[in-house]
């Protein structure tokens, strides 16, 4: 059975219990991180740690996330995931357990830590080459989408809108600007220029986003970080999503209309090929 981490213990998932007064349960008062592991090695843990530290500081939870590296490695080992091509490890930190009242518990209580690991089954190359589809949805998130908060209701509703529409993904649009996916960052290619929303409080600063930009730089693909209007996105040469559990995922149809010729483009393919080479250590 799957072994999870809960507050310092490793135990079978069926035995893990969270008190009803955990502020994660009551208020979604916490942050999380999902880190990929390629053949058991955490990928860019330092970036994930930085982001978690920023999130914890922003919501004023006093916890040193550096300890989570060991938790992540232990979860991989205890679940037999050190040899699989790709796994991902989830950890969340909530403000802890206290009777329900909005303001922080005073004095502070120990934060609650929960983590699990899963294998990631990458789609076959044939499936990837078919491309994916998405719908656009209004961005109803709060103005701190850069914090990886466990409060994901707008993301849940967005992804359900995709499911209801019979498509793979959802893209958040705010004031006419296409920002990111429900659980991934968004890239478009215009005349050979790789384009993505700039880092701001309206998007999550994806570790994979940063990695893709570095890959583009190394491949000599020009990169521009700027707002993408929804009309522009529909007329892009290529569109793709990036994320830990998404890697590089080409979108060939948005809101029922084909992107360019409806086929996966060369820039997306070149970036994904290089991505795979790097993460598999070639
Ligand atoms: C809303 C959102 N944007 C972007 C990402 C991609 O971030 P990363 O590449 O760090 O996984 C995620 C990942 O879960 C996400 O939830």
Name the pTM for this structure: 0.97
What are the pocket residues of ligand 1 if the criterion is a CB atom closer than 6 Å to any ligand atom?
A: 34, 155, 180, 183-185, 204, 206-209, 242-244
148 is catalytic: yes
Q: Which of 33, 46, 116, 37 is nearest to 83 (CA)?
A: 37
Specify the residue with its C-alpha closest to ligand 1, atom 5: 184
pLDDT of 100 strictly over 70? yes
Assigned fold of 125-279: D-amino Acid Aminotransferase; Chain A, domain 2 (3.20.10)
pLDDT of 32 strictly over 70? yes
Mean pLDDT of 181-206: 98
Pocket test for ligand 1, best of 180, 199, 242, 243 (most atoms within 8 A of CB): 243
Residue 24's pLDDT band, with cuts at 50, 70 and 90, is very high
List, by residue range, all CATH 3.20.10.10 domains of the chain: 125-279
Sign of CA dihedral 102, 106, 109, 113: positive
User: Distance, CA 33 to ligand 1 centroid (Å)?
Assistant: 9
CATH classification for the domain delimited by 3-119, as one of 3.40.50.2300, 3.30.1540.20, 3.30.470.10, 3.10.50.40: 3.30.470.10
User: Distance, CA 100 to ligand 1 centroid (Å)?
Assistant: 30
CA distance 206 to 138: 20
Residue 84 to residues 6, 22, 37, 41, 135: CA-CA distances in angstroms? 24, 34, 9, 10, 32
Q: Which atom of ligand 1 is nearest to the CA of 209?
A: 9
The average confidence (pLDDT) of the chain is 97
Contact 252, 132 (CB under 8 A): yes
pLDDT of 154 strictly over 60? yes
Specify the residue with its C-alpha closest to ligand 1, atom 3: 184
CA distance 133 to 249: 10
Q: Which atom of ligand 1 is nearest to the CA of 34?
A: 11
Residue 282's pLDDT band, with cuts at 50, 70 and 90, is low
User: Distance, CA 107 to ligand 1 centroid (Å)?
Assistant: 33
Pocket test for ligand 1, best of 185, 207, 246 (most atoms within 8 A of CB): 185
In this structure, what token pair is assigned to residue 196?
Answer: 């993505």
**Tokens 């529409």 label which residue?**
165
Confidence (pLDDT) at 281: 82
User: Distance, CA 194 to ligand 1 centroid (Å)?
Assistant: 18
List, by residue range, all CATH 3.30.470.10 domains of the chain: 3-119
């Amino acid at each position: 059975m799957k072994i999870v981490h809960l507050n310092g213990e490793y135990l079978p998932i069926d035995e893990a219990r969270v008190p009803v007064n955990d502020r994660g349960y009551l208020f979604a008062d916490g942050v999380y991180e999902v880190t990929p592991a390629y053949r058991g090695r955490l990928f860019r843990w330092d970036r994930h740690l930085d982001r978690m530290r920023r999130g914890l500081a922003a919501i004023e939870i006093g916890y040193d996330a550096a300890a989570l590296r060991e938790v992540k490695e232990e979860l991989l080992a205890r679940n037999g995931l050190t040899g699989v091509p790709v796994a991902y490890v989830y950890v969340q930190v909530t403000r802890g357990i206290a009777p329900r009242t909005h303001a922080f518990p005073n004095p502070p209580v120990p934060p609650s830590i929960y983590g699990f690991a899963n294998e990631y089954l990458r789609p076959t190359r044939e499936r990837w080459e078919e491309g994916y589809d998405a719908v656009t949805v209004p961005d109803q998130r709060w103005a701190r989408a850069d914090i990886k908060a466990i409060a994901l209701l707008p993301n849940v509703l967005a992804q359900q809108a995709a499911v209801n529409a019979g498509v793979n993904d959802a893209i958040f649009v705010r004031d006419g600007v296409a920002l990111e996916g429900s659980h991934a960052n968004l890239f478009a290619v215009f005349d050979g220029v790789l384009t993505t929303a700039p880092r701001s409080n309206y998007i999550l600063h994806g570790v994979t986003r940063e990695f893709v930009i570095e890959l583009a730089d190394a491949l000599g693909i020009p990169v521009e970080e700027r707002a993408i209007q929804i009309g522009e996105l529909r007329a892009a040469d290529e569109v793709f999503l990036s994320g830990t559990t998404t890697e590089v995922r080409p979108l060939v149809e948005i809101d029922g209309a084909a992107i360019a010729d409806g086929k996966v483009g060369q820039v997306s393919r070149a970036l994904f090929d290089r991505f795979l080479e790097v993460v598999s250590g070639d």
